[in-house]
Structure 1
Amino acid sequence: MSFTLAIVGRPNVGKSTLFNRLVGKRLALVDDQPGVTRDLREGDARLGPLRFTVIDTAGLEEATDESLQGRMRRLTERAVGMADACLFLIDARAGVLPADEVCADILRRRNAHVILGANKAEGRAGESGLLDAYALGLGEPVALSAEHGEGLDELLDVLTPLVEAAEARAAADAPETDVDVAEEDEDGPRVPTVDRPLQIAVIGRPNAGKSTLINKILGEERLLTGPEAGITRDAISLSLDWAGTPVRIWDTAGMRKKAKIDDKLEKLSVSDGLRAVRFAEVVVVLLDAAIPFEQQDLRIADFAEREGRAVVVAVNKWDLEDEKQDKLKALKDGFERLLPQLRGAPLVTVSAKTGRGLDRLHAAILSAYDVWNRRISTGQLNRWLGGMLEAHPPPAPGGRRIRMRYMTQVKTRPPGFVVMTSHPESVPESYVRYLVNGLRADFDMPGTPIRLHLRGQGDKNPWREKAAKRHTPSRLRKHL
């Protein structure tokens, strides 16, 4: 579900009631007392044929200080900025209040798509408030009754074109992954163009220097930086020509351990960063040279690998290191030991402050992208498989010999292979790793995620069936 709808408005206009109506469950607490909702709550909404994400927000208050109401307002404004559209609710029975006008002004500045909904519009009591809603200048209001489920058809009509447009944009922005390949497909990797640039996400722990690095690549101070950790909130994408390569690069919020995140705003930021990884083709995992390969760094790199993205590991703040050779050797040893699933992935040292190493980073990204698109012919694979089986035959659990007869590549981005074998369920994981590591070494595919699937050949054996027919009396063959 790529479309997100945030329900906003002043306190006690029925936002949580409508949220529960859309998700079909009583997830949000509802009461006549204003200010019950304080945190953001997400749910999977169903409205006719539409499926989308809906966010229930706290009531927009006029407070802007560090009070509870002020923090709730900032959290709601954050959700408004992230959502594809906002449903601004007013109370039709109370009419348009000054607080509604303040909310309307905030929404005009923070979100391009605002749907005006007049809740509690059932009966004659809501007619005057429905007419007053036109004065907010947000278009024709949708008359709703969240309590009784009225007006949802009209809301569906308004949402349908917005959801369809958002899904089309998401499909256009999403990278091609798990691309099927045919035997006659000899095309090389897609060459990045201005219309379809190489998509890169820079991820890492807070204060690793992600924004500073991207500013240095851009050649200007486009992103806010500073010594404080956690300055970046949104996953911001920027398009540029980097040394002749059209790229679209995402700056993401620092990702801390999940147990340490208790701020709702930070949870939203991390979620936005993970979404950026899914929109990337190459993921740059940025480490701090002073404290590399901490547990969170390993989790971030593993997440990128599980998403099937090409991975480059960059070690920042290299200008502060005195014993560079010893440090580099320790980094390579730690990488080999702690991230075996990314064995051979590019490891480059950079300084986001001085710009040293950016040429090596650019070359490493292009190399990882090329490997991610690697295509190997079936003939090469089967000759290689024969050699691997001869060097180390698969085990024979329970005395059953495992026969691997055929191998082919079925996908790229990342490379995916299928091996036709007898008893695929009996092949140990260690033997699969042996084959994957062999693919990396022999076909020069370091670091990229490799998907290797074992597929059984089925119960039917044509040779066995022919032999059975030859030894079957002729009077019984017609029944076979």
Structure 2
Amino acid sequence: ILKSPDSLDDCDVALILIDTSEGITDQDITVAGYAEKRGCGAIFLLNKWDLVDKSEKGQQAFMKELRQMAKFLSYAPAITISAKTGQRCHKIFDQVSKVYKEYCHRINTGTVNRIIEDAVYREEPSLHKGRRIKFFYAAQVATRPPTFVCFVNYPNAVHFSYKRYLLNQLREMIPLSLTPIKLYFREKSGKMDFSGNTKEMERIREKKKKITQKKMKQRKEQSRKKRERDKKGTQ
């Protein structure tokens, strides 16, 4: 568990293995929390499922407990497997592919605006000091995970419950049922507001830094190989 945060830094889809014979432990939920915090996709692998109460009621109770304890990962699918017999293990990579596809999904700006416009029309946000919160336009600004920005007049005044409502509308209408999605509010003429989430900004900067370093290393290696080929060609 100590290595979990580091291993999730460069992870796109986390496989969270749960030993069902021991039930759902605090450690399982802690690892799930790391995945949610990193913003990566996630899949629960419920190992030793053959040892769980085989009655429909018993299995439903286990799933209900999992969803209750890890409700922050409501989008994460769960696969029941047996590592010992190989039962349903072949389904893991198919599910990883589905989650990753949504994790990298991009939608055009026109569609995003229609979804937000319809959502605001159906249910307007609460007033801010007697004034309406106006939504000017919205756009998707990133993938992995899909990240959206709404341009409004009072970005800090949008209540978290209304943010959750808009996230649910995006998830339902696009649809994006298997991946985390992020939504930020930005003042129309200002810089992007991450709601004071300096950890999120730091994580993004660190990820970009690692990608840049990796590309530089690859270019150096390519240059070295080219020099070796040129040297052999002149001999």
Cα displacement (A) at 1:296: 2.1
* 1:348 equivalent in structure 2: 79
Residue 361 (structure 1) aligned with residue 89 (structure 2): no
CA distance in 2, matches of 1:338, 1:277: 20
* 1:327 equivalent in structure 2: 58
| Letter aligned with residue 179 of structure 2 | T
Cα displacement (A) at 1:370: 0.8
* 2:156 equivalent in structure 1: 425
Cα displacement (A) at 1:420: 0.4
Contact 1:374 1:415 in 2 (8 A): yes
Deviation per CA, 1:300-333: give whole Å up to 9, x if none: 1111121121101111011222425323322332
> Given the alignment, which residue of 87, 112, 128 partners 1:397?
128
Contact 1:342 1:448 in 2 (8 A): no
| Letter aligned with residue 294 of structure 1 | T
Cα displacement (A) at 1:407: 0.7
* 2:31 equivalent in structure 1: 300
CA distance in 2, matches of 1:290, 1:444: 34
* 1:278 equivalent in structure 2: 9
Quick one: structure 1 residues 410 and 367, their matched pair in 2 at CA, closer, same or farther if it must change by over 3 Å?
same
Residue 454 (structure 1) aligned with residue 185 (structure 2): yes
* 2:102 equivalent in structure 1: 371
Contact 1:350 1:361 in 2 (8 A): no
* 1:387 equivalent in structure 2: 118
The aligned runs of 1:119-138 (5 Å cut-off) are none
* 1:30 equivalent in structure 2: none
| Letter aligned with residue 417 of structure 1 | F
The aligned runs of 1:55-454 (5 Å cut-off) are 255=1, 270-271=2-3, 273-454=4-185
Quick one: structure 1 residues 287 and 274, their matched pair in 2 at CA, closer, same or farther if it must change by over 3 Å?
same
Deviation per CA, 1:264-303: give whole Å up to 9, x if none: xxxxxx23x4322213221100111133432221221111
CA distance in 1, matches of 2:122, 2:60: 32
* 1:156 equivalent in structure 2: none
| Letter aligned with residue 64 of structure 2 | D
Contact 1:342 1:446 in 2 (8 A): no
| Letter aligned with residue 327 of structure 1 | G
Contact 1:421 1:454 in 2 (8 A): yes
Moved over 4 A (4+): none
Larger CA Rg, structure 1 vs 2? 1
Paired-residue identity, %: 32
SS, match of residue 22 in structure 2: coil
CA distance in 1, matches of 2:133, 2:42: 34
Contact 1:343 1:446 in 2 (8 A): no
CA distance in 2, matches of 1:337, 1:410: 31
Cα displacement (A) at 1:422: 1.1
Contact 2:135 2:152 in 1 (8 A): yes
Quick one: structure 1 residues 347 and 424, their matched pair in 2 at CA, closer, same or farther if it must change by over 3 Å?
same
In the superposition, the TM-score normalised over structure 1's length comes to 0.38
Q: Which has the higher helix share?
A: 2
| Letter aligned with residue 92 of structure 2 | L
SS, match of residue 290 in structure 1: helix
What is the Cα-based RMSD across aligned positions, in Å? 1.7
Cα displacement (A) at 1:440: 1.7
Cα displacement (A) at 1:350: 0.5
CA distance in 1, matches of 2:15, 2:55: 21
CA distance in 2, matches of 1:442, 1:291: 38
- Aligned positions, number: 190
| Letter aligned with residue 434 of structure 1 | Y
Unpaired runs of 5+ residues, structure 1, are 1-254, 256-269, 460-480
CA distance in 1, matches of 2:66, 2:146: 22
Deviation per CA, 1:425-468: give whole Å up to 9, x if none: 11111111111122222222124221111001138xxxxxxxxx
CA distance in 1, matches of 2:127, 2:185: 16
The aligned runs of 1:29-48 (5 Å cut-off) are none
Unpaired runs of 5+ residues, structure 2, are 191-235
| Letter aligned with residue 25 of structure 2 | E
Q: Which has the higher strand share?
A: 1
CA distance in 1, matches of 2:51, 2:94: 23
